[in-house]
Amino acid sequence: MQSLFKKVRLLLLGMVAIAATAAFALAGTGAANASGYDIYFAPGSNHASVSGTVWQGGVDSYRLEARAGQTQITDLTSVQGTARFTIIAPNGHKICVNQTWSKITLPQNGWYTVQVYPTHGDANYTLSVTIN
């Protein structure tokens, strides 16, 4: 009886380990598609660029801190033009939607989010942001 108990226990532990591994792998894939990064400008610079790949159905999010009244120029280039961006103000309002280029005056102080997403398929892109 004790031998049967040990076999069942080992089987259950193995199943838990497999389930945990699968859950971790799936969460890692989702996290890569919904990743968040902060954009910082080098001292004395008002411009930064980042490159990446966003998978179909995913969103890459970039945050940057800016002040009300500043101008943000955002430029997104992608292979075959398959990526777009949306800019979200610190209060959660979308102030620029489904664009590849924009020049906007920022309405408030705080952290702005630029979300990059593919229009179809996967998208390799370069996102450039300038704050004046």
DSSP state of 80: G
- In CATH, the number for domain 35-131 is 2.60.120.380
Q: Are 101 and 76 in contact (CB under 8 A)?
A: yes
Judged against a pLDDT cut of 80, whether residue 93 lies above it is answered with: yes
pLDDT band at 8 (very low <50, low <70, confident <90, very high): very low
pLDDT band at 1 (very low <50, low <70, confident <90, very high): low
pLDDT band at 80 (very low <50, low <70, confident <90, very high): confident
Cβ contacts of 39 within 8 Å, gap of 6 or more: 48, 50, 62, 63, 64, 114, 129
Q: Are 58 and 124 in contact (CB under 8 A)?
A: no
